[in-house]
Amino acid sequence: MTLSYFLHIFDQQVVQLGDADAALDIAIDVSAPDFEQMAAKSNAKAAISWTWAELVDAFLAEKLPELTEPWRSQYEGFLRHEGLTSLSEKHVCDLRKGDLEEVRDAMLDPKRDKRIARSTVWRLIKASKEMLSWAWGHHARKSGLENTEYPWWQSWTVKYKPGKRDHTPTLEELVRTIIIAEHHRTLSEKEHATSPGTLAALWATILLGQRLGALLLMRESRLFEAEHLPPGWKVMNWSEDEMKSAVGVRLPHSLPIPPAFFEAIQPYRDEIADKQEETSDWLFPSGKGGDHVTKSAMNRLLYRLEGKEFQQKDRSLPDRKGKPGPKPRGSARSKRENLLAKYDVRAWTPHDVRRTLTSFLDDCRLGGAASAILAHRENRKDEETAKERTLPVTRIHYSRAQRLDLKAEGMTVWIEAILRTYQVEKKKLAPAFLASRQAA
């Protein structure tokens, strides 16, 4: 070993000369050819091995086809995140744990211009470690990890524990949120009023209990009549590709919708139709460029109702009149009132609705209906799931496996309870809204 030889020469010369500086000079001169050879080998190895950016490209080329949207885009975003760009040109074979820790610390630096949430850093590190393990296991030579004896990058960590949500908002809290959002459509002079499409989507989130990503992609052309259901009922359906996998199996999902749902969102759809020149096929159109309401818009609405400021990403601010440079941040921002807390509503997320729906229908002895409505798959025979997966999208809702009658029973009980609670809570909040308006 070159280093061992260098130390041997150094120790020998110290004993002979009694002068450490002179011994160091001699040891360097004697060992120089070996060090140069070792450096040359290292440079040659780096020249033919992947950089971090090349590894990201290679890994995602194999990984992304296995994923579906929106997770595919999110996962790619983790590995191409700006917090990891300092690693882009580094060769994987030259990386050390300290390099990765420096990147982590830089992302968590409180003085950083654009703060990165600790949870995001945790996800970036998790994805990066999966990528490095893939490189070591499948492309050791190309990645330069051929001589790596153990996956040292697994010790690259950040102190963070993903929380497990167990919040179950009450029916009163859910409908109060709708009422508050309807009453306070303009939350700030600096922001646009809440769009009718977003309010319709908020109603749908609570009335239907579906996963937000799939729900917002619903089109009117995907609503079908169901002969064996009461008049006015329609069936929404999602193909297997649009559904979240259940234990690795993706199955189509159909949901019977009573007329009361369409009556609840119709005022907002009428408002949208009055503003748009062309009719949109989206069930929840955003009113912008023919697109649909996004998850971001929904989350932002709840975020603002909670009294929090939403930080825009990478938007340069215009120069102030008479003064160069962007407008000041921080102290110039007004503090927003927490409207949810003001009206006794605990903060909740769209996914929490599913927990409330399950709890409510369980109490009504309709737990099986809740599981069917939320597409919580039970153990089923392989031939049954295989047959269901092959159904054309226009025929999915006719499948007996979809248990439409059971779902319809649960939907009727749930939606009637929500609408009944809405009327009660609206009367309760009316005096408070009137007092608030008079005080203003």
Integer Cα distance of 328 and 317 in angstroms:
9
Q: Read off the pLDDT of residues 299-348 as tens digits, 9 standing for 90 and up.
A: 989 989 998 865 554 444 444 444 444 444 443 344 678 999 999 999 99
CA angle, 280 then 236 then 402, to 5°: 165
Q: Is the dihedral of CA 358, 362, 367, 369 positive or negative?
A: negative
Alpha carbon distance 262, 69 (integer Å): 28
In angstroms, the Cα distances linking 241 to 49, 66, 129, 221, 251 are 37, 12, 28, 17, 8
Rounded Cα gap, residues 247 and 302, in angstroms: 31
Q: Which residue has the higher pLDDT, 329 or 91?
A: 91
pLDDT of residue 274: 81
Residue 387: pLDDT band (50, 70, 90) is very low
- Residue 114: per-residue pLDDT: 78
Choose the most confident range, by mean pLDDT, from 115-124, 243-252, 312-321.
Answer: 115-124
Buried b (16+ CB within 10 A) or exposed e, 374-407: bbebeeeeeeebeebeebebeebbbbeebbbebb
pLDDT at 227: 75
Mean pLDDT (whole number) for 417-422: 97
